[in-house]
Structure 1
Amino acid sequence: MAFDRIKMPDIRKYFKKNKSGRPKFKLNSIFNLRFVLILVIIAAIMIPLCLGGIIIAKSYAKKAMEDIIIEVKGQGNLLAADIASSSYVNTLNSQIVDAELDQMTYTYSARILIVNDNGIIVKDTYDYETGKIIISEQILSALKGNVSDKYDTRTGVADISLPIYNEDNDASIIGVINITMTYGKVVDMTTYIKGIIVTIILVAAMIAIVCAFLVSNVIVRPLGKLSGSIDFVTDGAKARQIEEKSFYEYRKIACSVNRMLDKIKVVDDSREEFVANVSHELKTPMASMRVLAEALLSMDDAPVETYREFMDDIVSEIDRENEIINDLLTLVKADRSDAELNISTVNVNELVEHVLKRLNPIAESKDVELIMESFRPFAAEIDEVKMTLAITNIIENAIKYNRTNGSVRVSVNADHKYFYITVTDTGIGIPKEYIDRVFDRFYRVDKARTRETGGTGLGLSITRSIIIMHKGSIKLYSKENEGTTFTIRVPLNHGQTGGDLL
């Protein structure tokens, strides 16, 4: 295969150009989840292995040196006893002691000094320091009856000093045996063990890298699919469900994303339905006005009464159009995330009483009795204008969709955190399958009855938005042919959270 045909990896994606036009390395392209997982897995395997190898090598060297020192001390004590019994410190004449010195020197690769109680070296197996005075901390300590030893596991060098006691008087010290040895076998064995450990670590490193790539691929691949699905939706395609098959955390994320996609679909459908409803609601009065105007134009000598009647109808349709537009503007303002509230401390009991007084003529015209129950007076931090609109919409609906000789009971109460307004009517009720949609914009359960009662179909949507702006909640209970109950819960203090919102 020719070299120019080999497909090389494109590393340009890891670089970007700076202001000078030179490529600049992009760290964000490298430090992704896959890279972090690989580093973590390799570190999780390699760090314990390296630490374990160091501990094993040091532990072996330390234990080996301690065993050798114990053995040498035993041999040194025997040698000290022979030196004391043969008066070797004074005479230097004992074949047994000489043989023992030669054997220890050869066996342990040691240099042995015999020092008398004046600190003079009387015997040096290397013949370097014989006759010289030696003064060291270890020698002085041994002359006081202490056994001392020092060793270095890195070099394998040990220094041991043992007192020589007078054979006739154990408390009397006549000299010191100083043994300096280099135990190369320990160093060699330690080096050999370290080599094996390094080999194991290198093999483990390769295995760790392979495992890290495999594990990271298993973890990252589903996330790549998830990202692709989200990008698919972001690019404008229709939302599609993400497969929930993988490890638990991925299934949890996929489930959340699927719920989000379902919500997006519902919102998108609602938006399309809302646009269609707005178009229809705005076109209906326009169509009626067009029909009335064309009818007037087609009549050459129409009576004044007919003109007046038609013009009254046109004015009514204009008023209806204006009402729809005003409600739409109110709803848009309430839905804005940065919508402002003119918060003030308001007596809620008086506010509800004022609403009932304004609606009482409508209730009397429909033979509906308005009843108010106030358990205790209280004040709350609310936007008086918006809250008045919300309460008015609920009570007005309760009147419109009530029965002749029916009633609307309005209950006002509060605890230490919230105030509650409950509106219960004896009207026609709402079928169970429609309850979840009553707060939708322009949605009407009974369109024929709505035309009779009037309204734009935006009242409850506006009410819900206002309650949410006040960090409150609104709940609905209804049973067909028995009546409906709306319950509003709003924090007394605007700064506190009102909990779950419907």
Structure 2
Amino acid sequence: MKWFHSLRWKLLFLFFIISYIPLMFFSSVILDRMETYYLTESEKGWLGKANMVATQVKEGNYLIDNSNYNLFKTLIASKSSENGARILVVDASGFVIMDSSGADTNNTLMNDTVLSALNNQEKAQKIEGLPIMTAAVPVLDKDKKTVVGAVVLVTSIKDVFLPIQDMKNQIYLLSLVIALIAGLLSFATSSVITKPLKTLMKFVQKITNGQLDQKVNVIGKDEIAELGNAFNHMTDQLQRVEQSRQEFVSNVSHELKTPLSSIKVLTESLMFQEDVPVEMYKEFFEDINSEVDRLNNIISDLLTLVRLDQREIPLNIANVDINEMTQNILKRLTPLAKKKEIKLIYESHKDIIAEIDEVKFTLALTNLIENAIKYTPSGGEVGVVIQSDLQDAFISVQDTGIGIAKEEQSRIFERFYRTDKTRNRETGGTGLGLAITYKTVIMHNGSIQVESEEGKGSVFSVQFPLRHVWEGGTK
């Protein structure tokens, strides 16, 4: 049954069912109505014939006067031959007085049609499972007041019933053939759907084997084309992620190798020189200590990023005064700004309280302001503006620094990414500050954007909700 798991066979089965069931339903409804109509017309016709016989029985007074029995028998025989039906006449108690076939004469006949007729109600019905109809009508006395008996006609309705049955069989067979044809056509045309899917599946298997440079040829604008476009977009993203991973590994290796190389050179210089002055020992040990601090900072920031990625560091959400938090950050960074003669400007027009993790958010905002100071030339300005509406808070950090090239602005939040030679390691830092800032803002369900022009400065805009939204709802 492995073949049944094929999409084409499933489509064949699906189209067969979809085609066959409605055809059978509508065919059954139409045929049932046709059968009901023809049977009703047949019942009316045979009731009319039974009434004609009943009228002659009443006029001859045959159920009251037995003296004309032979004439009565001749009448029933002729009418039976004329109508092509078996005719029975019963008295008021159901006793068969006359039977054109002679089979039930002097017997008692009681069924639904006879009982209805003896209760002065005409009735005709088809015998279940047989092409035979019985029609019974009452026989009244000459005063038309008392039921003295009933006339029963038993006749074959093959001329009506059998054609309908044949028509049913033909329509059911036709429905089956139409459904099969529809299924086979769907099977034949399903390759239009399954072929591109099979092709796409081959490319997916290649990607699972590590071949990320896969692209499918997209034709048209239908759902299959949309799936192909989505696949191509996914491969682009996977290639970018792989490229970022490789760059990240390379950058980590380089960042860690640089201080280690410096430490090795410094230690070897001390080891292989004789009569080294104490001052040189002190100077080299200070440089070694600085490189160890730098190495430690890189490792700490890397661990922080890994934990943020894996959500290992929980958010300690609390109501925080954003104005007070920002002012405290500016106070700590004032000595750095004064050293470069940079003017710090703070602007806020109202108190803002937000649900955030103060420690993590302080680190993120500190990274932004510290970068603005580092990359702003002496005599420049760094401004921090805080605003809010009913739902969100907005913090913008503006500087008059060297700016960022437009083509590089989309990558500045990547780990270890450096825009140009001016932004080198001599400015300090690990190259991970903006990556940590970006991840922290995202964890707070916020967003961060940058607008910059080379030589004129940059503006980093942070937006985050005043009320923190947890996964699954607001606490």
TM-score by length of 2: 0.87
Q: Match for residue 422 of structure 2?
A: 448
Deviation larger for 241-250 or 295-304: 295-304
Query: Structure 1 121/53 Cα, relative in aligned 2: closer, same or farther at 3 Å?
Result: same
Q: Match for residue 122 of structure 1?
A: 97
Q: Match for residue 149 of structure 1?
A: 124
Q: Match for residue 81 of structure 2?
A: 102
Q: C-alpha displacement at 1:71, in angstroms?
A: 1.8
Structure 1 contact 375–413 (Cα < 8 Å) conserved: yes
Q: Match for residue 382 of structure 2?
A: 408
Q: 1:66 aligns with which of 27, 40, 44?
A: 40
| SS of residue in 2 equivalent to 1:279 | helix
Q: Which amino acid in structure 1 is aligned with residue 125 of structure 2? A: K
Query: Structure 1 338/219 Cα, relative in aligned 2: closer, same or farther at 3 Å?
Result: farther
Q: Match for residue 21 of structure 1?
A: none
| SS of residue in 2 equivalent to 1:267 | helix
Encode CA deviations 1:251-298: one digit per residue, 9 max, x unaligned: 222222211111010011111111222222222233334444555566
Q: C-alpha displacement at 1:482, in angstroms?
A: 2.8
- CA-based RMSD of the aligned residues comes to 3.0
Q: Which amino acid in structure 2 is aligned with residue 486 of structure 1? A: F
Alignment pair present for 1:269 and 2:246: no
Q: Match for residue 333 of structure 1?
A: 307
Q: Which amino acid in structure 1 is aligned with residue 308 of structure 2? A: A
Q: Which runs of 5+ in 1 are unaligned?
A: 1-10, 15-28
**Identical-residue share of aligned pairs (%):** 37
How many residue pairs were aligned?
468
Query: Structure 1 321/119 Cα, relative in aligned 2: closer, same or farther at 3 Å?
Result: closer
For 2:423 and 2:237, the matched residues in 1 are separated by: 31
Alignment pair present for 1:371 and 2:350: no
Query: Structure 1 87/98 Cα, relative in aligned 2: closer, same or farther at 3 Å?
Result: farther
Q: C-alpha displacement at 1:83, in angstroms?
A: 3.0
Q: Which amino acid in structure 2 is aligned with residue 230 of structure 1? A: V
For 1:102 and 1:65, the matched residues in 2 are separated by: 22
Query: Structure 1 155/119 Cα, relative in aligned 2: closer, same or farther at 3 Å?
Result: closer
Q: C-alpha displacement at 1:483, in angstroms?
A: 2.5
For 1:356 and 1:111, the matched residues in 2 are separated by: 116
Deviation larger for 48-57 or 61-70: 48-57
- After TM superposition, the structure 1 = structure 2 runs for residues 211-360 of structure 1, keeping only pairs within 5 Å, are 211-245=185-219, 248-293=222-267, 295=269, 300=274, 303-360=277-334
Deviation larger for 437-446 or 367-376: 367-376
For 1:383 and 1:62, the matched residues in 2 are separated by: 79
For 1:140 and 1:153, the matched residues in 2 are separated by: 18
For 1:443 and 1:467, the matched residues in 2 are separated by: 19
| SS of residue in 2 equivalent to 1:276 | helix
TM-score by length of 1: 0.83
Structure 1 contact 154–187 (Cα < 8 Å) conserved: no
Q: Match for residue 438 of structure 1?
A: 412
Q: C-alpha displacement at 1:72, in angstroms?
A: 1.5
Alignment pair present for 1:164 and 2:139: yes
Q: C-alpha displacement at 1:389, in angstroms?
A: 0.8
Deviation larger for 356-365 or 191-200: 191-200
Alignment pair present for 1:113 and 2:88: yes
Structure 1 contact 165–171 (Cα < 8 Å) conserved: yes
Alignment pair present for 1:44 and 2:18: yes
For 1:421 and 1:191, the matched residues in 2 are separated by: 83
Encode CA deviations 1:354-383: one digit per residue, 9 max, x unaligned: 111110111111122222233333443332
- Structure possessing the higher relative contact order (Cα contacts under 8 Å, 6 or more residues apart): 2
Q: C-alpha displacement at 1:466, in angstroms?
A: 1.4
For 1:171 and 1:364, the matched residues in 2 are separated by: 128
